A and B are shown apart, each in its own frame.
Chain A
Amino acid sequence: MPTSTFDIFRYQPDTGPEHFRQTYELEHDADLTLLDAVLRLQNEQDGTLAVRYSCRSAICGSCACRADGKTVLACMSQVEDLKAQNGGQPIKVDPIGNFEPLKDLIVDMDPFWEKFKSVKPYLVPDGPAPEKERIVSKEAMQKIYNESKCILCAACYSECNSLAADADYVGPAALAWGYRFAADERDGQRTARAKLYSGEHGVWDCTRCMYCNERCPKGVDPRDAIEKLGGIAFNEGVSWADAGARHAKAFLISMRTGGKLNETLLVPFTNPIKSQLDLPFALRMLSKGKAPSPIPHRIKKLDEVKKLMKNVKETI
């Protein structure tokens, strides 16, 4: 029987304000999950050890935590796999990131649920309800299949680099749900949703660190959903409202006029006022030869690109 060592984050607000770490050893069968390990420690060694869980089957999303720094569902992670990955070191177990701990591995999820609610994660159909159910084709459901798999475990939220820098960012899970309803053909709020998600702390705040896609235990790919919400904002014509959308627009204009990024256009177009105020910075860039040529580059066969830009239809 293998023996494993666990180095666990502790916080017991009833007995003291400080965070500390505690090491436990456990002899166990080869096929033990991290959640079962923590529950055995709780039952057999330390009844004060607090953890949140429910289904034990990767469905409820309650037991997300960090194992060796990486957010996982504890019920989906095998202790022996974690040891194989870390070279047999003690397994470091921490609460998920971007949250305040309440007790040991349990965090305060309230901000997450508030943001989730803020995207209106429910269908808002147009017109009166039909007499029978609304039939949706397989193709239409396929568009939102990935996002429908989200179990709200917050693994994406835990690792999001935008959130680490801006606690008000609505975050990947909420936006994935936003897309799931914005792209549902039964929903009548597509334009309103595009506007709602495109403001400050929304779609255009994603820093594209790709951690959400990497960590999601269910294959939701939240970053892809955020990207599709950008596409919906463009389709719905709300694309001028935010500096992030204008940034994307500058790429489209560059593409049409030369085929390469026109950096001269990018800065003033994205942020017209701020770029004026930033003159000293611009001059420093200029002195280092970092100011791009005002004459845009022009690739060969630009006519192909112009035709593609005219012809290719967006199906989002």
Chain B
Amino acid sequence: MARQFAYYPGCVAEFSSKELNRTTKALAPMLDIELLPMPAATCCGAGDIAEAKPNLYLTLNVRILSQAEEMGVDIMTICNVCTLNLRRANKLVKDDPRLLEAVNEELVKAGARPYEGTREVTHLLWFLATEEGLSLLEKQGPKGLKGLRVAPYYGCQLLRPSSVMGFEDPDQPQSLERLIRALGGEVADYEAKSKCCGFPILLAREAVALKESHVALSQARDSGADCMVTPCPLCHLAMDAYQRKAEAANATEYNMPVLHLPQLIGLGLGIDTSIMEFKRHMVPVNNVLEVVGS
């Protein structure tokens, strides 16, 4: 029987980066997982609501956790920022029963279900980068990435703070590398793979953010990568949608296609490329498709 998760794609994957949501849903049956919708779940607040109204952030996120609890399943995300916000709220209330009680009081007052603290939040990457996940990929008889040189890009919030995230060593992460190799790709290694893409301040401080994304984009280019891959749609926006702007701001060229993690898996498993909607990317991925022969 397929493993069930409460599916929390996050706002960006549902709206401006629909290709991520659609590819994930297309992959799910091949990975033997069932993604159950959460129609009453809000935005996680993306760190912004936490920065304006911390108690409200906590209450809203515990409300989401409680919905998964009612469904009797754990949450699966496809976004670094959602993962951090949900996991942080979960840890805060699990570590402090009095805080959980106070939050539940508010939830009940608003007509929402209280949370018992029994659920976990995972990211698709974490699920797949385990022995169980890798064997699911193996079972599909991957067609392979045919030596595609892929620069793994983690970004920040799936790694740090490790006291909340805790899946792997934030200074020597290997989960993306394991997946790239398992799918027949080559890893293009570079130092900045876990530096910030600048997205959280991209709208408010564009010049600063474009200097941040430059570090990873230029290093990935210099490592000889055919493309980058990221588990986060916000990193994807910073690296793909804003890549031309970063080129102009830093007087250089990257020409670096950036794939969402599920797209890389889709290519490795050989699913129909039209499902993955590469046409929605700002930087063309033609060279990637040529190497993999899709």
Contact = CB atoms under 8 A, between A and B. Distances in A.
Partners in one complex: yes
Given A165-B208, A308-B60, A208 B156 contact: yes
Interface string A238-276: 010011111111111011000111010011001100100
A55 interface: no
B208 A228 contact: no
Contact of B43 (A226, A230, A246, A261): A261
A115 B141 CA distance: 57
A303 B111 contact: yes
A249 B48 CA distance: 8
A309 interface: yes
Interface in B189-216: 191, 195-196, 198, 200-201, 203-206, 208-209, 211-212, 215
Given A208-B156, A234-B52, A284-B282, A162 B201 contact: yes
Interface in A122-169: 161-162, 164-166, 169
B186 interface: no
Interface string B31-53: 00000000111110111111111
B170 to A, nearest CB: 6
Interface in A278-316: 281, 284-285, 288-293, 297, 299-301, 303-305, 307-309, 311-316
Range class of the B interface residue count: 35 or more
A223 B245 CA distance: 28
B221 interface: no
A86 B43 CA distance: 40
B162 interface: yes
Interface stretch (A39-47, A180-188, A209-217): A209-217
Interface string B154-198: 001101111100000011000000000000000000010001101
B60 A206 contact: no
A90 interface: no
A244 B17 CA distance: 23
Interface stretch (B8-16, B143-151, B252-260, B264-272): B8-16
15 contacts: A161-B195, A164-B211, A206-B201, A209-B196, A227-B51, A234-B53, A242-B204, A247-B48, A260-B11, A260-B43, A288-B279, A290-B17, A299-B42, A308-B110, A312-B56
Interface of B: 11-12, 14-18, 39-43, 45-56, 59-60, 63, 84, 106-107, 109-112, 156-157, 159-163, 170-171, 191, 195-196, 198, 200-201, 203-206, 208-209, 211-212, 215, 241, 244-245, 279-282
